[in-house]
Chains A and B, each alone.
Chain A
Amino acid sequence: MRVLITSGASELCAVLADHLAMEHEIRLTERAPVKSVHNFVQCALGHDRATNQLTSGIDVIVHAVEPLPDEDVSAQIDAATRCTYNLLLAAAEENVSQVILLSTLELMADYPAAYRVGGTWRPLPRTRPPTLSKHLAEQVCREFARERKLRVAVLRFGKASDATVYEAVNCALANDEEWAITHVGEIAR
């Protein structure tokens, strides 16, 4: 399977790329230059041909929505919304079949600790990243799934090992639901 991983500058995605490369063909991307052993393409995720070229020939996108170093809140919100929209619109045009969005379990942290919160519960974002930016990215993805332009699997990660993250992404790759939300790991409190 040909897998595009965004936020290539993040440690999470670098490790994930190493794991997935054992079974899949990997393309890594970031909005800034990144040194990587994997096939790397720098892309601003803008409204232009470059984003279409980035997604061309890809089967699945793992979209991590991680900020660049020193990015301010406004820029993080822009990346989570506009860049996610551009990426998914290009993906739909290039016949990508699935997007796996890496989100955060912090979205559910305001529920009482004793509750067994599931993916069907309403997220409770705060007014700053990461919960606000991840929430908005989820919302953008949801509209693409609602219109059946792309299948979307949302993985909300809490405290989880690299192996658990990799296993969750692998499970998501096998998921053929139009819209699915899975909680992975424990909420950090």
Chain B
Amino acid sequence: MKVLILGGAGMLGPYVARELAVRHSLRITDVKPPEEELPGDFLQLDVSDLDAVVDAAEGMDAIVNLSVLRRDRQIAWDVSTRGCYNMMQAAVTHGIRRVINTGPHLTVAGKNITECFDFGIGPDIPPQSGTYIYAITKAMGQEICRVFTLHHDISVQTYLFYHFVDPESIQTGNQRVPYAVSWENAAEAFTLGLEIDLEALPSLCEVFYVFADMPHGKFSNEKAKRILGFQPRRDVEKLWT
């Protein structure tokens, strides 16, 4: 499969690129050049540039969107919200039916609302991002994706993460947020998402929490395991032992 990766030179991008390059042909894009050699072709572009995204998507079978910028208020909207519109418009233009979008768990469960009080939180609760800039910009992007799936035959899987960890860096007794996954394990979800039969997905717009099996009971990764076949590694257990 020919896969366009947006935001591929960021923190998660190299892990996803190395994972997908084994079985797929990659066109990786980012607003800045990669700091390490990545498999596939690299194209420097700004995801907020509609024409550039549409051009980059030509000839692709799938789009994976890893683009993110959290702090700068102008660029956060450009990347996380307009970027999603541009990606979906590119998918429509080129008849690309498979899109994997990404974001933080906050797009669904805003940190000042649900996470503070609740347990067993699944990804299909009504989205309630709150006004935190990172959460709301990604949430609006996610909503744009949902609206496009109502009108076009495009499947969008959205993978939500919280905290990525390098298993080697975990010190016993470290207290981390109750929602983590190793970089390599997170990347494995994208292979599943590219290879799953789209007819096996319950709808054209599905959201998944992707993280390790963790004992805190806050968030549920059950849907990712049940539908995608995601297999959490046992590589972050030092977080709670």
Contacts and interface: CB of A to CB of B under 8 A. Distances in A.
Interface of A: 46-47, 73-74, 77-78, 81-82, 85-86, 88-89, 124-127, 132, 135-136, 139-140, 143-144, 146-147, 149
A146 B136 CA distance: 13
Contact of A74 (B82, B110, B147): B82
B214 interface: no
Interface in B1-55: 48, 50
B136 A74 contact: no
A144 B131 CA distance: 6
Interface residues of B, number: 31
Nearest to A123: B147
B196 interface: no
B73 A47 contact: yes
B86 interface: yes
B194 interface: no
A85 B130 contact: no
A127 B88 contact: yes
Given A78-B82, A82-B74, A85-B77, A127 B152 contact: yes
A127 B77 contact: no
A89 B77 contact: no
A36 to B, nearest CB: 28
Given A126-B151, A144-B131, A147-B131, A74 B74 contact: no
Contact of B136 (A47, A125, A135, A140): A140
Interface of B: 48, 50, 73-74, 77-78, 81-82, 85-86, 88, 92, 110, 112-113, 128-131, 133, 136-137, 139-140, 143-144, 147-148, 150-152
A15 B181 CA distance: 55
A144 B48 CA distance: 25
Contact of A82 (B81, B110, B139, B151): B81
Given A88-B131, A146-B128, 19 more contacts: A46-B74, A47-B73, A73-B85, A74-B50, A77-B144, A81-B140, A82-B81, A85-B131, A85-B133, A124-B150, A125-B147, A126-B147, A127-B151, A135-B143, A136-B140, A136-B144, A143-B129, A143-B130, A146-B130
